[in-house]
Structure 1
Amino acid sequence: MTRRIASPISTFFADFHAAEGIMRASDCLECRDHFAQQQYPHEELFHFEAELIKSWSDSERSFIQKNIAAKPDLRILSFHAGSSFTKPKIVNQHFEPGGERVAASDLQKNARENVMWLRSVLDKEQTIALENNNYYATPAYDDVTDGSFLTAVLEENNIALLFDIAHAHITACNRGLSFEEYTANLPLQRAVQIHISRCIINPDGSASDAHLPPDGEVFAEVKTFTLRFPQIRYFTIEYYQDAGILLQSLVRLRALLSTL
């Protein structure tokens, strides 16, 4: 199986030369909601803002279906599992409780309904994936970051995992677990894509998402997970601050994948 580097379409693409460099260093692209109207070659993935575990409105379904039709190269459509509340508030860049708490059983029911609808509009070759989220110490992240909950959703619906390494580090740190202990409970045998970046450790010892460029330790983790779970096909560096640093990271990722 050919492993492919999939770079996100981001603000870097406002600069023609940066966009050209990123596309040359990548095998394909990952679309995002904010840049959905842009069209590029090899748009093989779409990472939607929609939460697979929430009840979708007609407008959300229309947006998803419109982009499925507009991007014929799509192979993976991935979604979030953001919060267990209907209208979570964003405070200091993370969710706090807002609206009503949704029971885990209802979150799973929503996922079943959404997957059933997606399969009615997708080709059989297209894959549905769910991303593991990061945990912060508020009830807004209850259930949705539990490995057992994610496993149940994936297995019941026969869908894939988008494994975000930084999110896993953040969840492990903020729950007082080791990285190995937390990831052992994730359904990594269903992973088809890895989001690659580095989080930060705050002065109080908690971890936060920062989308920093991967360092040697993160690349070593990518190697370990790829060797353990060879079905993983797509590799995405999530870094958005300096196009030159991103290109260096893409070259390093290419060199790593060539050895596996």
Structure 2
Amino acid sequence: MTEVRSTPTQRVAPEEPPPSDPVAAAWTDYLAAARQLDGVRRGAATAAGEQARSVQAAREELTVVRARLAAQQSRLRERGVPAMALVPSPPEVTVAARSMAAGPAAVLTALRTARECADAADGVLDARGWVAVVGVWRASRPEGWPDRLRNLLVYGPLAVLGPVLQVVLVLTGSGARIALAVLLGLVLPAVAFAVGWVGVGRFFRPGPDGRLDRTPRFGVLVCGVPAALCTAGILVAVLTG
């Protein structure tokens, strides 16, 4: 019987990695650190640029807001607002300081908000100014005048029209036209008063009580006196001529 002998199995040793180059490893670490440092530098430069732009914008905004507030202060003082009411109180100053403590960007935001408030305040002041102007205009309208003075705007021009026409006729030198001028002096006052009566009702509105005073006696006087004086002057000139 043949005896089989087993041969021992040979073990293969694992391959060891080649030894690392310390110079290459150090160079790789240096490049990584340089890239990281460059990123930090770029971020810091960007932040510094944004901060500088915010500071410049805040300075410009502050100049505008100061000018606006100074103008508003003058307008309010002219309207009788006390000076103490135009100065911020200590709690208001504290709140404003807290809102701007985050840096130039927060300061710029607060100044822009202040300018918006100033714009709104100007709108309110302008609106009240227009209300005052409208009030003065309403008070100065003929409806707010005394009845006689208001009606004189209608009766007066009509009363002058007759004597002007009479003078034009007399200056022609014709006897017939002089007679016509005298006749017109008797008729035109009544016509002027009638037209004025209608005109007062058309041009002016009734008062709060729903009535409109046409001041008829005053109208007759205004329309009659100029024509009567002009007619008397024509007759005297004809008789003495």
**Band of TM-score, shorter chain:** under 0.3
* Structure with the higher helix share, 1 or 2: 2
* Structure with the higher strand share, 1 or 2: 1
Q: For the pair shown, which has the larger CA radius of gyration, 1 or 2?
A: 2
